[in-house]
Amino acid sequence: MREHRVLRFFQLWPQTGAESLGDIGFRWLSGCCALLVPLLILAIFMQLLYYSIPTIKTFGLGFLFSQTWNPVTQEFGAASSIFGTLISTLIAMLLAVPLSMVIALLLVELAPPRISRVIGTLIELLAAIPSIIYGMWGLFVFAPFMADYVQPALGNTLGFLPLFQGPPMGIGMLTAGIILAFMILPFITMITRDVFLLVPPVVKESAYGIGSTTWEVTYKVTIPYGLVGVLGAGFLGLGRALGETMAVTFVIGNTHRISASLFAPGNSIASCLANEFAEATEPLYVSSLIALGLVLFIVTYLVQVLSQMMLRRMYRAWSVGL
């Protein structure tokens, strides 16, 4: 019945000619909506740049290398925030990349399909948990756990390194890095899994056929074959880690200081914005915060573009749609 109604509906307005007026309008409308996304990115960049001008004029390039951050004397430098962003991201990547690889290995090669699907779903749900929940859990559950068990253990065994010295307070660079690792782990795992799945079975089977073990096939065949994709997945995680805000803000300690110890509190660009933006009143203060945002924007943009290019190259090469 429904089909008949639809048919009648069309016949009421028979179309002649190549493209009706409605068609032209609809195509333009949808085209404009598609154009909106690139325009938004451009607008974000322009706005950040515009508001950063006072900072760039006052401090010049020195803004990036100065450690002072003093709203009272109106002196601002981004060094401690940039340092904190880089260190916490580095910790996160060192932990998350190998873990994601082996989980993807389990999902694709080792586990039976049904178990693999269940584990896959659970890992995907881990990615869905909002950042602020990681923050709550990090501050009230994980930071005390770090202070009571992990940090004393690290201090006792590796305490001769300056990295692991100082009082075990729970919050600080190390805890922030570990929580970041937990947050990006599912993203990297999911894409690595897809990349592993795309490697043609024939290639893997020939390696198995000459007597390779699962690990050897993964290490010497699957990973080299899908290297661009695996790198793309890593960069995607990197971009997320650099800009992650709430979870880091809860546990990093929020002080503008550069310390050698990973137990010490610090801050990151995103956490600095989250903490100070709403309270900033002087124009130069706001401008400096937005300049920090501009730095973050440029870095994450480049990382994202790299990651997209790698993933796209891989999908293109293997002729499947993105």
Nearest Cα neighbor of 248 from 100, 138, 167 is 138
At 67, list the tokens. Answer: 């450690």
Which stretch, 58-66, 164-172, 205-213, 222-230, contacts another protein (CB under 8 A)? 205-213
Report 14-73 residues binding another protein (CB under 8 A): 14-15, 19-20, 22-23, 25-27, 29-38, 40-41, 43-44, 47-48, 50-51
Q: How far apart are the first and last CA of the chain?
A: 38
Exposed / middle / buried, residue 179 (Cβ in 10 Å: 0-12, 13-18, 19+): buried
Q: How far is the CB of 275 from another protein (least distance, A)?
A: 9
Q: How far is the CB of 84 from another protein (least distance, A)?
A: 15
Q: What single string gives the DSSP state of each residue in 241-260?
A: HHH--HHHHHHSB--S---S
Report 73-132 residues binding another protein (CB under 8 A): 99, 102-103, 105-107, 110, 119, 121-126, 128-132
Contact 249, 270 (CB under 8 A): yes
**Cα(217)–Cα(236) distance, integer angstroms:** 25
- Does 307 help bind another protein (rule: CB under 8 A)? yes
Q: How far is the CB of 159 from another protein (least distance, A)?
A: 25
> Three-state DSSP class for 274?
helix
- Does 152 help bind another protein (rule: CB under 8 A)? no
For another protein (CB under 8 A), the number of binding residues is 100
Nearer to another protein, 40 or 153 (CB): 40
Nearer to another protein, 158 or 305 (CB): 305
DSSP 266: B
Q: How far is the CB of 162 from another protein (least distance, A)?
A: 28
Nearer to another protein, 50 or 161 (CB): 50
